[in-house]
Structure 1
Amino acid sequence: MPGVRTTDGVALHVDVRGTGAPLLLLGGQANDHHWWDPVRDDFAAAFTTIAFDYRGTGRSDKPDAEYRTRGFAEDAVAVLDSLGVARAHVYGTSMGGRVAQWLAADHPGRVDRLVLGCTSPGGAHGFERDARVRKSLAQVDQAAARKALLDLMYTPAWLARHDGPFTTLGDPTMPPHARRAHLSASAGHDAWAVLPSIGAPTLVVHGADDLFNPTANAPLLAGRIPGARLHLVEDARHAYFEEFHDVAGPLVLDFLGG
């Protein structure tokens, strides 16, 4: 479809697949819409799925400026507006879950049902990954850093059976300034104060063995959002939605009514 232009003039690439009620899919930090490729068909069979390349990724513009999760939520509104979608289900994972929190809090009339996957409220109340995890990801040896990220995303058993390509490890085409801006946006997220205002029926999903975004964030979110449900996917790491899609897919579809 033609590109969407935001209120500040940034062009965004949008990808729409499937038929049915609209479902906005929000992926992880420094990733484009291909984050959802391994599981997109699960949802496109029941919904019109809408995904877009965040500013700084994929085929969207990459301005050298400050990025914020709240700003990404405004970009999502621009995408919905461009498609004539007044109200949609929203499923955000990782940084996309942070964006989804703002979308549901700032634009309650636009969100039908909300799913927050492997994400965090951020700020002083959120649980951060520990120093060993941060150190493993900051290695100078890029092959070693990539292996560390894979191990945080997937279990050893799954990796032994899959050699890629992997769509959750970041958009390799991103310029350095955009990669830094995404990191800053995710790290600066803090929606704690607005979470109690979220009125959309909410499901919080998290891998029970997630060290990349510690599992302890899931009950924090579920306890802060009125009426939210919580489901931990046993044995799953950060990319629970892909490796354990046979569990997570039906769980989310059932919650969304699909």
Structure 2
Amino acid sequence: MPHASINGLNLYFERAGEGPPLLFISGTGGDLRVQPNVFASPLARAFDLVAYDQRGLGRTDKPDVPYSMAQYADDAAALMDHVGWDEALVLGVSFGGMVAQELVLRHPGKVKRLVLACTSPGGAGGASYPFHEIEHLKGEARARHMIPISDVRRDAAWAAAHPAEYEKLVELSAADPFAGEPGRDQGAHRQLEARAAHDTWDRLPQIACPVLIAAGRHDGIALPETQEKMASRIPGAELQWFEGGHLFMIQDRTAYPAMIAFLKG
């Protein structure tokens, strides 16, 4: 199992595929052990793809100390150095999009083209849903709370009209095969602390590389109005909408091809 010793961490990563180098940065709670993961997506057939478990998550170290968004960004930059990439394409999803914003701002020469998917800038531009406020919700209770937020079409009326589909979503969303693992709760908590402090709004005009903001029309986590604000703040940024909620990439089959086309220029 490949680990990189960077920034005082043993950081777990995986690499597969051929093509232009692409760094994928995952969202809140991202863990490469959860299948299917990004290596089952079209990205692995289009790029030399690297993805990793961020600090506090998965098979990466989980020090129980405060984390910062700057540290997450520096971890990404150091992983690129470890695999021998001076620069790469970058795709950040949700929390990973927040990390990607910090990465391109702190290490602008390392990011050739950037996709920010279902994410937010924080500050005056708007924050994503405050997961730190529902940290006490676990399992099925959390799943039932988040389903109508992740995709605002899945409200109480939808759940009543589609009971079997709704209960299957609850089952899938509530599952955590690694619950109780040493350090897991502490690492997740530290990630949420850093996420709550995310704010790149005032610095977004400094981003100089080509940027695509990819968003779901029905996302209640990274709100549509926030995507529009972010697109107006980043010079030359493109905004593309997809038919889905926060997980639009698996709801709209046009999403991956569109993002791949942008990344390949």
For 1:198 and 1:63, the matched residues in 2 are separated by 31
Which residue identity is paired with 1:257? K
Equivalent of 1:233 in 237, 242, 247: 242
The corresponding residue for 1:193 is: 202
Query: How has the CA–CA distance of structure 1 residues 39 and 53 changed in structure 2, closer, same or farther, with 3 Å as cutoff?
Result: closer
For 1:141 and 1:168, the matched residues in 2 are separated by 10
For 2:172 and 2:128, the matched residues in 1 are separated by 28
The corresponding residue for 1:160 is: 165
The corresponding residue for 1:45 is: 45
The corresponding residue for 1:224 is: 233
The corresponding residue for 2:264 is: 257
Which residue identity is paired with 2:189? R
Cα drift, residue 194 of structure 1: 1.6
Asked if structure 2 preserves the Cα contact closer than 8 Å seen for 1:4 and 1:12, the reply is: yes
The corresponding residue for 2:23 is: 24
Query: How has the CA–CA distance of structure 1 residues 122 and 13 changed in structure 2, closer, same or farther, with 3 Å as cutoff?
Result: same
Query: How has the CA–CA distance of structure 1 residues 34 and 141 changed in structure 2, closer, same or farther, with 3 Å as cutoff?
Result: closer
Cα drift, residue 103 of structure 1: 0.8
For 1:232 and 1:196, the matched residues in 2 are separated by 22
The corresponding residue for 2:12 is: 13
The corresponding residue for 2:142 is: 145
Secondary structure class of the residue paired with 1:13: strand
Which residue identity is paired with 2:165? A
Secondary structure class of the residue paired with 1:45: helix
Which TM-score applies when normalising by structure 1?
0.86
Secondary structure class of the residue paired with 1:85: coil
Secondary structure class of the residue paired with 2:91: strand
For 1:247 and 1:170, the matched residues in 2 are separated by 30
What's the % identity of the aligned pairs? 34
Query: How has the CA–CA distance of structure 1 residues 141 and 225 changed in structure 2, closer, same or farther, with 3 Å as cutoff?
Result: closer
Gaps of 5+ in 1: none
For 2:138 and 2:112, the matched residues in 1 are separated by 44
2:255 matches 1:248: yes
2:193 matches 1:184: yes
For 1:113 and 1:168, the matched residues in 2 are separated by 34
What are the equivalent positions in structure 2 for 1:64-75 lying under 5 Å apart?
Answer: 64-75=64-75
CA RMSD of aligned residues (A): 2.9
Structure 1, residues 135-188: CA drift from partner, whole Å, max 9, x if none?
7x4675641212323443356589829667569989644522212111111110
Secondary structure class of the residue paired with 2:257: helix
For 1:257 and 1:16, the matched residues in 2 are separated by 19
Query: How has the CA–CA distance of structure 1 residues 43 and 166 changed in structure 2, closer, same or farther, with 3 Å as cutoff?
Result: farther
For 1:184 and 1:230, the matched residues in 2 are separated by 28
Query: How has the CA–CA distance of structure 1 residues 75 and 170 changed in structure 2, closer, same or farther, with 3 Å as cutoff?
Result: farther
Asked if structure 1 preserves the Cα contact closer than 8 Å seen for 2:73 and 2:99, the reply is: yes
Asked if structure 2 preserves the Cα contact closer than 8 Å seen for 1:38 and 1:242, the reply is: no
For 2:77 and 2:242, the matched residues in 1 are separated by 30
Gaps of 5+ in 2: none
For 2:206 and 2:177, the matched residues in 1 are separated by 32
How many residue pairs get matched?
252
Secondary structure class of the residue paired with 1:200: coil
Structure 1, residues 68-93: CA drift from partner, whole Å, max 9, x if none?
22211100011111100111000001
Secondary structure class of the residue paired with 1:32: coil
For 1:96 and 1:175, the matched residues in 2 are separated by 18
User: Moved runs in structure 1, 4+ residues, more than 6 A?
Assistant: 167-171
Equivalent of 1:214 in 206, 217, 223: 223
Which has the larger displacement, 139-148 or 43-52?
139-148
